[in-house]
């Protein structure tokens, strides 16, 4: 369900980076109009000292007339603006958010006892796709690969551990590498492990799945997505010419629509991907919540590569799941964590408290970052302020390209000064933001 063009412009670009698809379709039914309006959610008010005039980077605009997605004028690319936030980097703030501002009736996974596991080689470089197994007296509690920065989250209580200590970790070298597994006892909230004989080799493969809400209010987003693809693909290809990149597309609506989920598997053929993307239209919906859990769950039927691969999902949405589907959404996000797939949600203009909350949970579980559109482009409906104290406004296209580049580089690539259109929360040059109570958060 969408009402702002903003959400997909950048995404589309992202999609373009790679290429994408095979085809498979699921679910059916009748389509109706998406006339819903999200609940009001103003969010925190930016500080009066926030910098930047907030003028549209590409000129103002108005949202096109909803329809099939094929009759509206093609929008100019590179206009949507967005910010991003990392709840793992700001974990104490995230815990405060869960207890103080999160919506009632939508329980979060227990993450307060989070452990960050980091696997490095003998030279201290992070090892992607090492296989990690965590055991306690009752058996195996976690089996999952490390991300491209060598990290993985273990959540003792959520993962069914019998106690908060007494764990043993076994780390196996990445696929294709020799060397012996390492088994060692561990304790504390940060397990830094060195795997002798293994090498830190950056990914040679990139799999990106775009999961997009295709209900009626998303018409303009789909138009922007199509407009952005080629520019992002060209940038990624020129920057990472040796990377084998593939792209997949999942579009979803809601029960009672013409379909609930429609999936197109990974492909490296940009033409094939573009054809499948351009064939999509926005329709249906009706009420505010949508089948976001079904859309996210569909990524687990895609043919992800398991070798030296960076695996990302961009979840573009403007509405939460139905309340009864919240546990299912958490299960699908957790499956992504266990599969080594990072989720980068992209929140469009309709996003209010419940959708922001669910999308941030998915990003936190998988070590992704929460992306959200802003009003700076002058496009679409007003965007609610996220419940965060500090961020930089950038072009969504640049932010997504940089997110992909960060996964391929094994470290976060910060925005350059010329990319930042405006800031909220007065971040310092080192990316730190001091709040009124004296606590510090980070970009």
Alpha helices, DSSP H, located in 340-414: 353-366, 396-409
pLDDT of 165:
83
Lowest mean pLDDT across 86-95, 236-245, 297-306, 388-397: 236-245
pLDDT of 159:
97
Percent of the chain scoring above 90 in pLDDT: 64
Tell me if 120 sits within 8 A of 200, measured CB to CB.
yes
Intrachain domains 6-107+203-442 and 115-194 with the same fold: no
Report d(CA 271, CA 212) in Å as an integer: 19
Chain segment 8-38, per-residue pLDDT in tens: 433 343 333 333 333 344 443 333 345 455 5
In the structure encoding, which two tokens stand for residue 288, read together? 């505010």
Residue 47: pLDDT over 50? no
pLDDT of 167:
96
The domain segmentation of the chain, as residue ranges, is 6-107+203-442, 115-194
Report d(CA 179, CA 201) in Å as an integer: 14
Closest by CA position to 391, among listed 318, 316, 441: 441
Residue 142: pLDDT over 90? yes
Report d(CA 376, CA 426) in Å as an integer: 17
pLDDT of 30:
30
pLDDT of 41:
44
115-194 fold: Immunoglobulin-like (2.60.40)
pLDDT of 34:
58
Range among 50-64, 75-89, 225-239, 251-265 rated most confident:
251-265
Residue 263: pLDDT over 80? yes
Closest by CA position to 87, among listed 98, 103, 99, 101: 98
Residue 331: pLDDT over 50? yes
pLDDT of 283:
85
Residue 299: pLDDT over 90? yes
Q: How confident is the model at residue 315 (pLDDT cuts 50, 70, 90)?
A: very high
- What is the average pLDDT value for the chain, to the nearest integer? 84
Chain segment 406-429, per-residue pLDDT in tens: 999 999 999 988 999 999 999 998
With tokens 């959404």, the residue in question is 329
pLDDT of 13:
39
CATH code of the domain made up of 6-107+203-442:
3.40.50.410
pLDDT of 378:
82
The rounded Cα 102 to chain-centroid distance in angstroms is: 19
pLDDT of 22:
37
Closest by CA position to 387, among listed 352, 422, 363, 427: 352
pLDDT of 43:
45
pTM of the shown model? 0.86
Lowest mean pLDDT across 66-70, 77-81, 240-244, 379-383: 66-70
Q: How confident is the model at residue 387 (pLDDT cuts 50, 70, 90)?
A: very high
Chain segment 60-112, per-residue pLDDT in tens: 333 333 333 444 556 777 888 999 999 999 999 999 999 988 898 899 999 99
Q: Mean pLDDT throughout 346-352?
A: 87
Closest by CA position to 360, among listed 333, 393, 390, 325: 333
pLDDT of 79:
84
pLDDT of 69:
41
Q: Mean pLDDT throughout 262-287?
A: 87
Tell me if 254 sits within 8 A of 217, measured CB to CB.
no
pLDDT of 229:
65
- For 259-306, the DSSP string reads -SEEEEEEES-HHHHHHHHHT-------SS---HHHHHHGGGGS----
Give me the half-sphere count of Cα atoms (radius 13 Å) on the Cβ side of residue 42. 3
Report d(CA 256, CA 290) in Å as an integer: 11
């Amino acid at each position: 369900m969408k009402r702002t063009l903003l959400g997909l412009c950048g995404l589309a670009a992202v999609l373009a980076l790679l290429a994408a698809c095979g085809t498979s379709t699921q679910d059916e039914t009748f389509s109706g109009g998406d006339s819903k309006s999200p609940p009001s959610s103003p969010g925190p008010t930016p500080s009066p000292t926030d910098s930047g005039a907030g003028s549209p980077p590409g000129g103002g605009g108005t949202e096109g007339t909803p329809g099939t997605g094929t009759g509206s004028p093609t929008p100019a690319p590179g206009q949507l603006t967005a910010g991003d936030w990392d709840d793992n980097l700001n974990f104490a703030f995230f815990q405060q958010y869960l207890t103080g501002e999160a919506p009632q009736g939508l329980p979060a996974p227990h993450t307060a006892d989070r452990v960050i596991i980091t696997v490095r080689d003998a030279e201290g470089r992070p090892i992607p796709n090492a296989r990690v197994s965590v055991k306690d007296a009752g058996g195996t509690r976690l089996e999952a690969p490390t991300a491209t920065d060598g990290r993985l989250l273990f959540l003792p209580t959520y993962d069914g551990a019998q106690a908060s200590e007494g764990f043993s970790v076994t780390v196996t070298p990445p696929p294709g590498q020799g060397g012996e597994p390492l088994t060692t006892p561990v304790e504390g909230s940060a397990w830094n492990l060195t795997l002798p004989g293994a090498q830190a080799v950056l990914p040679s493969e990139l799999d990106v799945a775009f999961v997009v809400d295709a209900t009626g209010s998303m018409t303009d987003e789909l138009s922007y997505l199509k407009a952005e693809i080629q520019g992002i693909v060209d940038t990624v290809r020129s920057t990472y010419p040796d990377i084998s990149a593939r792209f997949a597309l999942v579009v979803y609506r809601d029960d009672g629509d013409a379909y609930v989920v429609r999936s197109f598997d990974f492909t490296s053929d940009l033409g094939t991907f573009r054809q499948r993307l351009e064939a999509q239209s926005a329709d249906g919906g009706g009420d505010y919540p949508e089948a976001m859990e079904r859309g996210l769950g569909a990524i687990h039927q895609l043919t992800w590569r398991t070798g030296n691969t960076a695996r990302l999902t961009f979840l573009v949405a403007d509405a939460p799941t139905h309340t009864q589907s919240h546990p299912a959404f958490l299960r699908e996000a957790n499956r992504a964590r266990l599969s080594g797939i990072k989720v980068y949600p992209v929140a469009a203009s309709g996003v209010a408290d419940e959708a922001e909350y669910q999308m941030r949970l998915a990003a936190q579980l998988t070590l992704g970052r929460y992306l959200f559109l802003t009003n700076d482009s002058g496009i679409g409906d007003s965007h609610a302020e996220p419940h965060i104290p500090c961020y930089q406004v950038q072009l969504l296209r640049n932010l997504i390209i940089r997110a992909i580049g960060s996964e391929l580089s094994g470290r976060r690539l910060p925005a350059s000064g010329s990319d930042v259109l405006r800031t909220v929360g007065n971040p310092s040059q080192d990316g730190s933001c001091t709040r009124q109570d004296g606590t510090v958060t980070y970009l």
